[in-house]
Amino acid sequence: MIEEQLLNLLQQVRDDGDASARTELNDLLRDQPEARTIMARMLVDEQALVHHLRDESIVSILDAEGQVSKIQPRLTPVMRLLAWPQQVAVALLVGAVVGLLSAGVVWAVNSPRSQAIELRVANGDFESFSGPVPTGIPSQFGIWGGNPAEVVEDVDGNRVLRFLKTGNVNGDPDDFASNCSVFQLVDLSSFRQHWGASGGNAQVTLNLSACLHRQAAPNDSEFSRLTGSCRIFLFNVEPQAIRESWPQLVREDGIGFGKKAIELLPGDQPATITASCLLEPDATVALIVIAASTGTRAAPVELGGYFVDQVQLTAVRHPALPVHFVK
């Protein structure tokens, strides 16, 4: 697909400074109207770059086929964060130098590098404890909690978390659920002090990754599908409030969200997935959630052989682009 090709080339230009990738990217944009339309959509949809694209001459160049959507009003934080393909594109565009489409027209871009820092997820590798995970959503930072789950040793002697049973995390027997989830609260304040992420024009992306694995279990025939997922929720509230008001809090006070899911069959190779979202300036707490889901709300059921390991949370800061148009 052209969109995937564009993203790959942009990443090579930004991260590696690959001159051949830059040439190929320029040729693709010059020769392929569809590529220009896709690139225009990536840029125009992302509000972080809109103020750099006010010059109508830029939009008119990109919209060579007259297919660029009009710039939309700013979406609410949660909904904007759901538009992840555009966020990925913008993350890749940071620092890219692109000469576009015709003689005498260039993009002049200073190329600052993105920076990454790993935020602490307590026991993200599950090596420091074993046995059952506490039930319910944690009310303090650095503790796993949730539905019935336990930390066990795999055949290689490594500790992993096994999802045991679906259920309502608040313990309400009359409110059915489709998943078994484990939760951890992450304090964002120390991260902000390290980077000064609460100010300036830098854009910060949070990436939550986890390695999921499904082994064969006696009750596999009961599940037409079983999905593993990573989710990030961002709030500006006290940790205790999240436990007390879950899940209504997401709708009322959630200011950011990201999700990634994968469906694994018994015996499939372990797979690492990553959920991402933009870090809103006023977010103080991240709630990370790893889950295995049947896809059907029902009374609690045992899940069998679904495991997770190597949970990591990384912040990537993308400096603001000093972009200008030159004729």
Q: Are residues 135 and 163 part of one domain?
A: yes
Summarised one tens digit per residue, pLDDT across range 248-302 is 999 999 999 999 999 999 989 999 999 999 998 899 999 999 999 998 888 888 8
Residues 6+ apart with CB under 8 A from 139: 239, 240, 242, 243
Tokens 């949730």, residue?
146
Domain's final residue, options 71, 88, 111: 111
Instruction: Identify the residue with better confidence: 267 or 69.
Output: 267
What per-residue confidence (pLDDT) applies to 37?
A: 74
Q: Are residues 140 and 281 part of one domain?
A: yes
Mean pLDDT, the chain, rounded, equals: 77
Q: Are residues 248 and 210 part of one domain?
A: yes
Q: Are residues 229 and 310 part of one domain?
A: yes
pLDDT at 81 over 90: no
Q: Are 245 and 147 in contact (CB under 8 A)?
A: no
% of the chain exceeding 70 in pLDDT: 69
pLDDT band, very low/low/confident/very high, at 185 (cuts 50, 70, 90): very high
Q: Are 80 and 74 in contact (CB under 8 A)?
A: yes
Summarised one tens digit per residue, pLDDT across range 135-152 is 999 999 999 999 999 999
pLDDT band, very low/low/confident/very high, at 131 (cuts 50, 70, 90): very high
Per the domain annotation, does 324 fall within a domain? Answer: no
Per the domain annotation, does 327 fall within a domain? Answer: no
pLDDT at 20 over 70: yes
Instruction: Identify the residue with better confidence: 79 or 268.
Output: 268
CA dist 187 and 197 (Å) reads 13
What's the domain count of the chain?
A: 2
Domain's final residue, options 111, 130, 145: 111
Per the domain annotation, does 323 fall within a domain? Answer: no
pLDDT at 67 over 70: no
Q: Are residues 20 and 166 part of one domain?
A: no
CA dist 146 and 268 (Å) reads 26
Domain's final residue, options 111, 133, 148: 111
pLDDT at 121 over 80: yes
Give mean pLDDT, residues 192-210.
75
Q: Are residues 145 and 99 part of one domain?
A: no
Q: Are residues 179 and 92 part of one domain?
A: no
CATH code, 130 = 2.60.120.260
Q: Are residues 126 and 49 part of one domain?
A: no
Neighbours of 35 (CB within 10 A): 20
Q: Are residues 123 and 34 part of one domain?
A: no
Both tokens of 87, joined, read 């966020």
pLDDT band, very low/low/confident/very high, at 17 (cuts 50, 70, 90): low
Instruction: Identify the residue with better confidence: 41 or 244.
Output: 244
Per the domain annotation, does 326 fall within a domain? Answer: no
Which domain, by its residues, includes 21? 2-111
Please name the amino acid found at residue 290. I
Q: Are residues 274 and 307 part of one domain?
A: yes
Query: What dihedral angle (degrees, nearest 10) is formed by the CA atoms of 76, 78, 83, 85?
Result: 130
Q: Are residues 8 and 141 part of one domain?
A: no
pLDDT at 164 over 60: yes
3-state secondary structure of 152: strand
What per-residue confidence (pLDDT) applies to 145?
A: 97
Q: How far is CA 101 from CA 2, 8, 28, in A?
A: 17, 19, 9
Q: Are 179 and 303 in contact (CB under 8 A)?
A: no
DSSP string, 197-246: TTSSS-EEEEEEEEEEEE---TTGGG-S--EEEEEEEEESS-HHHHHHHT
Q: Are residues 224 and 88 part of one domain?
A: no
Both tokens of 129, joined, read 């404890």
pLDDT band, very low/low/confident/very high, at 170 (cuts 50, 70, 90): confident
Q: Are 144 and 123 in contact (CB under 8 A)?
A: yes
Both tokens of 125, joined, read 């590798």
What per-residue confidence (pLDDT) applies to 24?
A: 81
Give mean pLDDT, residues 183-210.
80
